[in-house]
Structure 1
Amino acid sequence: MAPPNPGLTHLSNALATPEQLSASSSLIDGVPSDLEASIRCAGTQLTQAAGVLLHLSQDIIAQAIVIFTRFWLGADGGSLRIYSVKDVSAAALYLTAKLSFQPTSPRSVLNVYTLLLSQEASPLWFVNPRGAPKQPPSADSYTLTEGGYQSARLILLRIESVILRTLSFDTHVALPHTIALTYLQTLGVTDSAVSRRTPNALAVAAIYLASREQDCKLVDGEWWEVFDVDREELGFLVVGMKSTEGFMRAETEKWKGPGKPIPLVVEEVDAEIERSQMMQEGE
């Protein structure tokens, strides 16, 4: 990945190169790009849900999602035909929490993931397309045995080391939340509605969208240039952010409609690829 601006290291992230974005290890291994996008999207949602159940702060969860996403980038990144999304998600969250002021134990992480990945107990639509159970399921369906825990713990620690090696031990993540609030103060905006609605995205584009949605008047002129963002870049980011809702709606219809879970382990990914190939041959 391209290194961040050396003068703004604490405010910058390493950026993916065009080559990393165009050819992932998963794509090279035969995973269709649309399937890869669905699986990685589900992985970020799984990470978010697990972080909430572990009572981690949102900035820790967001950092874990960035680490999770970086792992799959480029030909040297992880492949969905080698590493299971559920394992990488758990390891990214465990690693990020361990480096923060809210470390959590392997047992807590694994217990939460066992619950979220249980097709009988999970509230996640992409794990349990039928919806959360109306009656509380048996605890046996989402409780790790001691032997199961020890085995899962070894996998968690192994994948943690794989993530670190893949990222060259660069776990720095700069989030836009604090930057956005600083920019709002610089612009003289005190509208709490705008501040609350600033999403986890690049700060300037988030402020632009939130201010328009709340009909909040900002300063005259092209204020975004003060923060080193040109009009073309701002427009690209705004379009990208506004397209997120449509993408998620399409993903829900694509997977929840047929009522099948998104594959989150290697064996399920292989089976889905084989099924798709057989359908194409049948046509």
Structure 2
Amino acid sequence: MPPPTISGLKDLSNPLATPDQLSNSSSSVDGVPLDLERSIRFAGALLTQAAGVLLRLPQETIAQAIVTFTRFWIGSEGGSLRIYSVKDVSAAALYMTAKLSFQPTSPRSVLNVYTLLLSKEASPLWFVNPNGTPEKPDPETYYLSEGGYQSGKLVLFRTETIILRTLGFNTHVALPHTIALTYLQTLGVSKPAVAQRVFEHLNSSLLSPQLLYVTHQPNALAASAIYLAAREVGVKLVDGEWWEVFDCDREDLGFLVVAMQSMEGFAQAEKEKWVNRPIPLVVDDVEAEIERRRMMEEGE
């Protein structure tokens, strides 16, 4: 029995990263420590999610933008954190993805939102503003001047072009969310709590340090999220190794379930690690963090 399909198989699959690409990013080649790279990628994905919400974009568009953002940094041919600022790549990935969707957004809207989210005084994001946001932040702290808009627009367009070139102009992103709903129907699961947990796991996996959306196909992500959600909610699924019907083997299922379960702990550990200082989102701040670590190691 073949797995249910929604359209052509090509539309339901993604280009996956190779083991070499995963172990040799451009950032690591340029001397960015692995744990720092992981933290910055995590913050960049969170930034993209927050910006998408403020821009009132559909979650599907936001998720596709996060996958595009993630792909950009993979492999020695990808972008380096010592050359490109995460904030610029995040904004360009979101702008470009929205532009290709049914709900495009303007450069001004994107830049206004990012100016707020990157404000050291007004941002509601813990990794930008560790001290917390005032109840009524001063509008001057997140005001985008006309000159700032014009220069920001040039950076936005230039970064969009760089992303497209780096990805070989392949902007296709297949998501597991709709596939998961089809699988739930096929399995006869109608409990809303299961579907809700499935979507929560799929959305949190966008932030995974294991880069689940570029290492596994949507069908495997969907099956694994269903397996985990059903177990958490206490819903019994059909007997037998049903996930194999959806072309997901036991090894992938086990890895993905463990990875999805670990997301909450990973996010909490990152917050504790960066509790008193922001995560660097621009090249100069990345350089400063690398230098700070070097000085600490040498006891200067």
Q: Which residue of 1 aligns with 2:20?
A: 19
Q: Which residue of 2 aligns with 1:173?
A: 173
Cα shift at 1:42:
0.1
Instruction: State the distance in 2 between where 1:80 and 1:154 align.
Output: 20
Q: Which residue of 2 aligns with 1:250?
A: 269
CA deviations 1:107-161 (Å, max 9, x no partner) are 0000000000001100000000111213x12211101110110000000000000
Instruction: State the distance in 2 between where 1:28 and 1:133 align.
Output: 40
Instruction: State the distance in 1 between where 2:174 and 2:243 align.
Output: 19
Cα shift at 1:69:
0.1
CA deviations 1:191-248 (Å, max 9, x no partner) are 1111111132510000000000110011011111111111111101111111111111
Name the stretch that deviates more: 80-89 or 240-249. Answer: 240-249
TM-score normalised to structure 2 length: 0.90
Query: What's the Cα RMSD here?
Result: 0.9
1:153 equivalent to 2:153? Answer yes
Instruction: State the distance in 1 between where 2:24 and 2:237 align.
Output: 40
Instruction: State the distance in 1 between where 2:92 and 2:115 align.
Output: 14
Instruction: State the distance in 2 between where 1:133 and 1:45 align.
Output: 21
Which of these residues, 239, 242, 264, is aligned with residue 281 of structure 2?
264
Cα shift at 1:85:
0.1
Q: State the SS of the aligned residue for 2:190.
A: coil
Q: State the SS of the aligned residue for 1:70.
A: helix
Structure 2 letter corresponding to 1:230: D
Q: Please, which runs of 5 or more residues in structure 2 have no aligned partner?
A: 1-7, 206-220
Q: State the SS of the aligned residue for 1:104.
A: coil
Instruction: State the distance in 1 between where 2:240 and 2:280 align.
Output: 48
Q: State the SS of the aligned residue for 1:197.
A: helix
Instruction: State the distance in 2 between where 1:269 and 1:194 align.
Output: 40
Q: Which residue of 1 aligns with 2:290?
A: 273
Instruction: State the distance in 1 between where 2:251 and 2:91 align.
Output: 37
How many pairs were matched up? 274
Q: Which residue of 2 aligns with 1:240?
A: 259
Instruction: State the distance in 1 between where 2:124 and 2:60 align.
Output: 23
CA deviations 1:17-57 (Å, max 9, x no partner) are 00100010000001000000000000000000000000000
Name the stretch that deviates more: 160-169 or 192-201. Answer: 192-201
Structure 2 letter corresponding to 1:39: I
Q: Which residue of 2 aligns with 1:214?
A: 233
Q: Which residue of 2 aligns with 1:189?
A: 189
Instruction: State the distance in 2 between where 1:249 and 1:76 align.
Output: 31
Structure 2 letter corresponding to 1:276: R
Q: State the SS of the aligned residue for 1:207.
A: helix
Structural mapping, 1:81-120, within 5 Å: 81-120=82-121
Q: Please, which runs of 5 or more residues in structure 1 have no aligned partner?
A: 1-6
CA deviations 1:224-277 (Å, max 9, x no partner) are 111111111110111111111111111010001xx1100000000000000000
Instruction: State the distance in 1 between where 2:154 and 2:27 align.
Output: 24
Q: Which residue of 1 aligns with 2:138?
A: 138
Instruction: State the distance in 2 between where 1:252 and 1:261 align.
Output: 10
CA deviations 1:78-97 (Å, max 9, x no partner) are 00000000000000000000
Structural mapping, 1:8-47, within 5 Å: 8-47=9-48
TM-score normalised to structure 1 length: 0.95
Instruction: State the distance in 2 between where 1:132 and 1:221 align.
Output: 51
Which fold has the larger relative contact order, with Cα–Cα distance below 8 Å and residues 6 or more apart in sequence? Answer: 2
Structure 1 letter corresponding to 2:63: A
